[in-house]
Structure 1
Amino acid sequence: MKTIYIVFFSLCASTAAFSQDEVKNQPPKTKLETFSGQYGRVYIKAFSEIGTVSGSYETSVIVEAREYTNAVDGKKEYGISIEVKKEDRVNRSNTSYIDYDEIS
């Protein structure tokens, strides 16, 4: 019975690791990610913290309003970022972006 549990948990762990590698190689899905990922261009990044919620086990969620402006042509993108943090010895964090047009 222990062997079944060991095989099951090792399969789950390997699947989770594989899916994380796939996520890193995917192209940006939102306009904010596309705009902020442009290299070799000057853009102005403005943000304002909307709120922070602290959770159990040194976790927190930070919500920010974001505005990116291209310094050359003045094009702007607006949206919200949601960052989930776990502050332990590894200090992990993940950020998700929501475009303004998806909100309204």
Structure 2
Amino acid sequence: MDKSAGCGSDRFCHCSHLSSHDVGTSERVDAHFAANTIGLQMAAAGLGSAIIPSFLGILARQISLEIIPIGMVISFGSLFGLYLLADTSKLKA
């Protein structure tokens, strides 16, 4: 199976076509600051992956379990909105 055309049967996806569409962090910031910027992005991702489920758990305990799907939709909408906001630089170019 040709791995350049898509993901093969390997455990990890080594898709070369994914990196060609998006501009990475190292292209958006100076090379000197790329490692620190990527570290900040990873820290924010870790913090978000801890805070969002914790917050939904607290809401579920206080209100009911029915709040979890609503909270997930709100979280998805917020993250998608932030993605679109960050992606507007491609539309201007």
Q: Fold match, TM over 0.5?
A: no
TM-score, normalised to structure 2, is 0.30
When you count helix as a share of all residues, which structure comes out higher?
2
When you count strand as a share of all residues, which structure comes out higher?
1
Higher relative contact order (CA 8 A, sep 6+): 1
TM-score, normalised to structure 1, is 0.28
